[in-house]
Homo-oligomer: A and B are copies of this chain.
């Protein structure tokens, strides 16, 4: 449960180019209230309705936010990768179920002190606004996927989103085919896309059969021709996608 503080180098609320003036104070103050928590794949981080006395930033691993209906239907509504922010300043209770999709490390800040620091350091609020607006754009892209795309387009869209996000993290751009770790089970993919796991499996098999994606082991996805995958998403050829 102990980590090198530099692990939190990804912490996005610190990434500010401007105003070196208060930068030092800010880091210092945030450092004073931060602590790390780790979760194993599959473990719950918090349940909807629980008291949530911290906010956090993902250091490593993947977490999901999801909403469940009482009959068991589940929809994932957020997928948090390293540098993503979890929690809402000013809110007492968690609004969603948060689960560690893979092994997960969070850099947490106790909520009350964090809110106080936010008032003193406009930067943090500004940065948080940026991030929230980006998340909102991503949510809206996701709404198009859920509402209007076919199962095949949904799968292709998810794969391009994951490929892009992992690529931007590990700034290895694709030259001879992109590849990335698929951290999601079939069921998690289904919950992301509003499908059943059987349909996800069938469409993955179809894409594999057609050579649009290759699977290595069960986790590694290889995309020999990214444009060919893009063509299956239903989006414009150019970068019509947000984020």
- A residues adjacent to B (C-beta < 8 A): 65, 67, 69-71, 73-75, 77-78, 88, 90, 95-96, 122, 125-126, 128-130, 132-133, 135-137, 139-144, 146-148, 193-194, 234-236, 242
Contacts and interface: CB of A to CB of B under 8 A. Distances in A.
A140 B194 contact: no
A96 to B, nearest CB: 7
The 3 closest A-B pairs by CB, nearest first: A147-B194, A77-B140, A146-B146
Contacts of A90: 130
Contacts of A234: 69, 71, 73
Given A128-B129, A143-B146, A148-B194, 16 more contacts: A65-B140, A67-B143, A67-B144, A69-B148, A73-B148, A73-B234, A74-B148, A78-B140, A95-B137, A95-B242, A125-B129, A132-B132, A135-B136, A136-B136, A139-B143, A146-B146
Contacts of A126: 125
Nearest to A190: B147
Given A146-B147, A147-B146, A96 B140 contact: yes
A65 B133 CA distance: 15
B132 A133 contact: yes
B70 A144 contact: no
B88 A193 contact: no
A243 to B, nearest CB: 10
A121 B110 CA distance: 26
Nearest to A77: B140
Contact of A139 (B88, B140, B194): B140
Contacts of A141: 67
Nearest to A78: B140
A125 B125 CA distance: 7
